[in-house]
Structure 1
Amino acid sequence: MADSRTPTVVVDDVHVIYKVHGTGPAKGNATSALGRILSRRGTPGVREVHAVKGVSLVAHRGEAIGLIGSNGSGKSTLLKTIAGLLPPHRGRVYTHGQPSLLGVNAALMGDLTGERNVILGGLAMGMSRTEIQERYQDIVDFSGINDKGDFISLPMRTYSSGMGARLRFSIAAAKSHEVLLIDEALSTGDAAFQRRSKRRIDELREQAGTVFLVSHSNSTITETCDRAIWLEAGTLRMDGPAKEVVAEYERYNGKK
């Protein structure tokens, strides 16, 4: 039976390969470097990483999808590919509208105050100045960064990583998205912030949006998402109901 739901993201046999450069300059002089180029030998200190290997999936309107897996499994790389920031080496990604990757679309700047970053982040996501002004106080209150002082008037470089992540999520959550991609942003707040975040994700889904969430907290995945995708070493190991996928992932880790 055909699926009647509206697809928002289609990932078709996607492979992502990127190069990792060594930390220091390659040894040798210009003559030897030219010789390597002419002989097509590889540059010393550069290696290729096959981060995503043949992943295929379809996401639909109203879904919240958790991405789980060990460090280096390809979760963040897959999100960046869906967002259009990393081109696939092979395969295709199709999206309905422009996906928003939390913390990237809201191009926040460390030397500017939180207040200025709320304005810039909102503009970067397509909100008008009037919309930002109307939602400004809600964004600040949602983030909770002013609960223990007037941090919104301080430069963002003075924020902890958790405060910065909460403000980024609060800016992104102030606008409805057809596809919202969240990478580890919900693991940085206290219980009250996490409850607010979950409610907002539910609202985004009800507004016909699709949410992808990367988290190392399995409880966050099962509480926030109805579906989960397990990546391991760049391959898709399991795709299904969040509780079932998380349970299988925990059994796998228990056997290692």
Structure 2
Amino acid sequence: MAEQTETRVPTVIVDDVHIVYRVHGAGNSKGSATAALGRIISRKSSPNVRLVHAVRGVSFTTYRGEAVGLIGSNGSGKSTMLRAIAGLLPPESGRVYTDGQPSLLGVNAALMNDLTGERNVILGGLAMGMSQEEIRERYQGIVDFSGINEKGDFISLPMRTYSSGMAARLRFSIAAAKNHDVLMIDEALATGDRSFQRRSEARIRELRKEAGTVFLVSHNNKSIRDTCDRVLWLEKGELLMDGPTDDVLKAYEEASNK
């Protein structure tokens, strides 16, 4: 009898992706604002445009049930890669294919500072495609998970009164309340105390079982080790290594200590 092999379902295919930023500088000419306005009206390009090649020919495929860490030094292209997978940043060349709707969660994800935490939970849930009934059912769980009410009734206060850590925990809690086809987390676990990080890591493990693929960008190698079974190492926009978590982190840490 032939041995049956488990079918791996691709969730994200990144095929030879290049991403280039165009940085428009004022240059040394006088009256640069007027000159810029003139170029807009005449549809001429600026002579002072610097090209930043943020991602260089990156290719990989991820599969349902995987948790994939992205590591690398600052400016290596990790966050840019996530934005491309989320469809927020078109590649200069190459293609990104996703199975289902990718959701990007970052500590800078926009919530409305003048609204209460409660209203932001509702609006954030609606923005992710949850129904009002689903939001009502999950509302208390979101608040409890975030822990922002542990020292007072902060959920009824405007977001502008929150510390950066409280706001980041609430963002993560809103995003983690829904099962995602592809969930991308950018430094979200870097905020909060160890108790919240443990809850976050446990929730990511649940998401892996219930849904598709989780991507995690973090400078905290312990969070990567606790959460991910595969790691992509980017440097200067290039994919240096793709493999099991322990193997890639060991090579990365050895290179960092040189």
Name the counterpart of 1:148. Answer: 151
Please state whether the residue corresponding to 1:73 is helix, strand or coil: coil
Cα deviation code 1:3-31 (max 9, x no counterpart): 83000000000000012234899634757
1:111 Cα deviation after fit: 1.1
Name the counterpart of 1:90. Answer: 93
Q: Which shifted more, 111-120 or 3-12?
A: 3-12
1:105 Cα deviation after fit: 11
Q: CA RMSD in A?
A: 2.7
Please state whether the residue corresponding to 2:257 is helix, strand or coil: helix
Q: Which shifted more, 56-65 or 96-105?
A: 96-105
Q: Counterpart of 1:227 in structure 2: which amino acid? A: R
Cα deviation code 1:216-254 (max 9, x no counterpart): 101110111000000000000000011111110011011
Structure 1 contact 106–124 (Cα < 8 Å) conserved: no
Name the counterpart of 2:7. Answer: 4
Structure 1 contact 106–125 (Cα < 8 Å) conserved: no
Name the counterpart of 1:43. Answer: 47
Q: Counterpart of 2:254 in structure 1: which amino acid? A: R
- Which residues in structure 2 correspond to 1:106-145 (within 5 Å)? 107-145=110-148
Q: Counterpart of 2:78 in structure 1: which amino acid? A: K
Name the counterpart of 1:237. Answer: 240
CA–CA distance in structure 1, aligned partners of residues 159 and 98 of structure 2? 32
* Residue ranges of structure 1 left out of the alignment (5+ in a row): none
CA–CA distance in structure 1, aligned partners of residues 175 and 36 of structure 2? 49
Structure 2 contact 107–186 (Cα < 8 Å) conserved: no
2:56 to 47, 53, 58: 53
Name the counterpart of 2:79. Answer: 76
Q: Counterpart of 1:43 in structure 2: which amino acid? A: P
CA–CA distance in structure 2, aligned partners of residues 111 and 25 of structure 1? 40
CA–CA distance in structure 1, aligned partners of residues 232 and 51 of structure 2? 25
Q: TM-score, normalised by structure 2?
A: 0.90
Please state whether the residue corresponding to 2:125 is helix, strand or coil: helix
Q: Counterpart of 1:97 in structure 2: which amino acid? A: G
Q: Counterpart of 1:102 in structure 2: which amino acid? A: L
Please state whether the residue corresponding to 1:102 is helix, strand or coil: strand
**Residues matched between the structures, number:** 253
- Which residues in structure 2 correspond to 1:9-20 (within 5 Å)? 9-20=12-23
Q: Counterpart of 1:197 in structure 2: which amino acid? A: S
- Which residues in structure 2 correspond to 1:20-31 (within 5 Å)? 20-22=23-25, 27-28=30-31
CA–CA distance in structure 2, aligned partners of residues 132 and 97 of structure 1? 21
1:179 aligns with 2:176: no
Give the 3 Å change call, closer, same or farther, for CA 15–32 of structure 1 in structure 2.
Answer: closer
Give the 3 Å change call, closer, same or farther, for CA 52–111 of structure 1 in structure 2.
Answer: same
Q: Counterpart of 2:185 in structure 1: which amino acid? A: I
1:168 aligns with 2:171: yes
Identity across aligned pairs (percent)?
70
* Residue ranges of structure 2 left out of the alignment (5+ in a row): none
Q: Counterpart of 2:223 in structure 1: which amino acid? A: T
1:190 to 193, 201, 205: 193
CA–CA distance in structure 2, aligned partners of residues 115 and 68 of structure 1? 34
Structure 2 contact 107–188 (Cα < 8 Å) conserved: no
Ranges of 4+ aligned residues in structure 1 off by more than 2 Å: 20-35, 40-44, 103-107
Q: Counterpart of 2:257 in structure 1: which amino acid? A: G
Cα deviation code 1:170-218 (max 9, x no counterpart): 0011000010000000110111111111111111111132000000101
Q: Counterpart of 1:62 in structure 2: which amino acid? A: G
CA–CA distance in structure 2, aligned partners of residues 161 and 24 of structure 1? 36
